[in-house]
């Protein structure tokens, strides 16, 4: 196989990691110069910044006025765990999973909470489960966008408006890049380290009025640690949803989130952000269609993510290798790109099939995506040629 010449142009920003993700265009440390460093988060200035982060989240994501938004510990994981431990157990639950993070929530509910009436509806990597199997008289837990498989739900049409159970949605790689159907969702979680490229360790928990009603009328059979407690004396702790966080947040990270939110607002809000991600995905989509050695992991086009794009190597020679060989080839290809400084952290997730995972969400520039694609062809050709020599 002929080795291609190195492309002449590199991406201006080689950060294509799926979390933490690329900072917004033009970001510098100076953007954080107004952070309330060394001040209490309970002081007037701290409360004001936390409240501003909540208010801007509502504005940019177009969250209904009667939904509560809280900043919580431990990233998206913390937000999901708070919901699972605080809300589940009142009725049966359907756990819907098609990649590693969804599988993680299944493990927590079945093996940690040990709920007897928990059904699991699964699909392999690259596919979406049969959503018609879900019983919405029960609670339902699902991810909107499978970060490690690149498979998302195309919309929320599968959720009935007159459901009896709660819908608990992990939207961490969907929020700010995909439109969430709020009337169909009772609990939404995400981390600002994903689609807005914020600094890690903080999660967002959004509750519908139905979720609040559950919290105020149902007491779980198990004890709740302090960082999970959303109620006090049988009522929702309203302070959490105006910026009175359960534990101490990083005001530096809060300032970074405010900077990202203000950038998002200037980009046209949710519409502008989704358009940016869609343009980035379109560039990858056109390249995949024209490139015989690569394909999407997501089988159905309607389910393909516009943020965490997962790709599999389908070249016959590479596909004929065993799983260990395919994984080694993909890792070497990724390492070559890293060494060249054109793409960092784009290997498939450790539990996913071998391949590439490229973040093309809202903070990524389309010009950088376009510059990356020829380098993928170059790296593949170089690695396949090396494989031919070794053979």
CB under 8 Å to 333, separation ≥6 — which residues?
356, 379, 380, 383
Question: Looking at the domain assignment, is residue 20 inside a domain?
Answer: no
Q: Are residues 227 and 87 in the same domain?
A: yes
**Among 309, 307, 310, 329, which Cα is nearest to 318's?**
329
Give the Cα separation of 152 and 141 in Å (integer): 14
Question: Looking at the domain assignment, is residue 15 inside a domain?
Answer: no
Mean pLDDT of 133-152: 98
CB atoms within 10 A of CB 281: 21
Q: In the chain, how many domains are there? A: 2
Question: Looking at the domain assignment, is residue 356 inside a domain?
Answer: yes
Question: Looking at the domain assignment, is residue 254 inside a domain?
Answer: yes
Q: How confident is the model at residue 4 (pLDDT cuts 50, 70, 90)?
A: confident
State which of 265, 295, 313 marks the end of a domain: 265
CATH number at residue 202: 3.40.640.10
Give the Cα separation of 145 and 186 in Å (integer): 17
Q: How confident is the model at residue 391 (pLDDT cuts 50, 70, 90)?
A: low
What are phi and psi for residue 178, nearest 5 degrees?
-135, 150
Q: Are residues 248 and 330 in the same domain?
A: no
Give the Cα separation of 180 and 61 in Å (integer): 8
Give the Cα separation of 201 and 72 in Å (integer): 9
Q: Are residues 257 and 206 in the same domain?
A: yes
Over residues 336-384, the pLDDT tens digits come to 999 999 999 999 999 999 999 999 999 999 999 999 999 999 999 999 9
Which residue range forms the structural domain that includes residue 312? 269-390
pTM value surpassing 0.95: yes
Mean pLDDT of 247-262: 97
Q: Are residues 144 and 222 in the same domain?
A: yes
- Between β-strands 202-207 and 68-73, what pairing exists: parallel, antiparallel or unpaired? antiparallel
């Amino acid at each position: 196989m002929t080795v291609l010449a190195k492309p002449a142009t590199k991406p201006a920003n080689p950060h294509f990691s799926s979390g933490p993700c690329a900072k917004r265009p033009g970001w510098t440390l100076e953007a954080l110069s107004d952070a309330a460093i060394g001040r209490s988060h309970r002081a007037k200035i701290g409360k004001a910044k936390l409240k501003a982060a909540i208010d801007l989240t509502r504005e940019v994501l177009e969250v209904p006025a009667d939904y509560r938004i809280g900043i919580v510990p431990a990233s998206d994981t913390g937000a999901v765990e708070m919901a699972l431990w605080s809300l589940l157990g009142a009725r049966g639950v359907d756990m819907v999973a098609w990649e590693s993070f969804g599988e993680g929530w299944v493990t927590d509910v079945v093996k940690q909470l040990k709920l007897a009436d928990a059904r699991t509806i699964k699909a392999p990597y690259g596919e979406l489960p049969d959503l018609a199997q879900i019983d919405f008289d029960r609670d339902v837990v699902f991810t909107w966008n499978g970060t490690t498989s690149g498979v998302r739900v195309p919309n929320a049409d599968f959720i009935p408006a007159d459901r009896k159970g709660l819908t608990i949605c992990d939207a961490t790689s969907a929020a700010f890049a995909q439109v969430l159907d709020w009337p169909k969702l009772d609990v939404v979680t995400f981390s600002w380290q994903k689609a807005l490229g914020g600094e890690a360790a903080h999660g967002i928990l959004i509750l519908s009025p139905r979720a609040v009603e559950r919290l105020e009328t149902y007491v779980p059979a198990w004890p709740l640690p302090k960082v999970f407690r959303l109620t006090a004396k049988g009522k929702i702790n309203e302070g959490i949803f105006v910026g009175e966080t359960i534990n101490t947040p990083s005001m530096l990270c809060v300032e970074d989130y405010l900077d990202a939110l203000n950038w998002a607002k200037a980009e046209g809000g949710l519409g502008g952000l989704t358009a940016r991600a869609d343009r980035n995905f379109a560039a990858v989509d056109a390249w995949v269609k024209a490139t015989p050695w690569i394909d999407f992991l997501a089988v159905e086009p309607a389910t393909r993510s516009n943020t965490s794009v997962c790709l599999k190597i389908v070249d016959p020679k590479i596909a004929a290798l065993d799983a260990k060989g395919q994984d080694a080839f993909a890792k070497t290809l990724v390492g070559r790109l890293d060494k060249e400084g054109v793409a960092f952290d784009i290997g498939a997730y450790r539990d996913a099939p071998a391949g590439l995972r490229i973040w093309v969400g809202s903070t990524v520039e389309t010009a950088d995506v376009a510059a990356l694609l020829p380098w993928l062809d170059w790296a593949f050709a170089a690695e396949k040629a090396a494989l031919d020599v070794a053979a």
